[in-house]
Amino acid sequence: MSYTLKDLRAASEEELIAAHDQRAKNTGMGVDYFLGEVARRDAIKLSEAIKENTDRVAAEVQRLFELTEAAGRRMERLTQLIAVLTTASVVAAVIAVIAA
């Protein structure tokens, strides 16, 4: 007996394992059986590597955001300092012109 696709998707992992183990006793295994298992394990490894890389990239992006934010604050302070110094320079120039 084979499962319908609906029944197969609805079956729990334990039910699938039990059905597999029961049929494995009476079934000869071909190369595809082993290739399928190797492919499944490769897919799991790939998925784990992708998640690990994604986590690493997310951490780097967060760090870059923090650095960019800090640089923006420094630029804002420098801009304010330049504005103050420019104002002081204009005031000094006006005083020099008046005094002359």
pLDDT score of 71? 95
pLDDT (0 to 100) of residue 20: 85
Angstrom distance (rounded) from CA 70 to CA 72 = 5
Q: Which residues of 19-35 are buried (b: 16+ CB within 10 A; e: fewer)?
A: eeeeeeeeeeeeeeeee
* Confidence (pLDDT) at 46: 98
Q: What are the per-10-residue average pLDDT scores of the chain (100 residues)?
A: 85 89 82 86 97 98 96 96 97 93
Indicate the domain borders of the chain: 30-99
The pLDDT value recorded for residue 88 is: 97
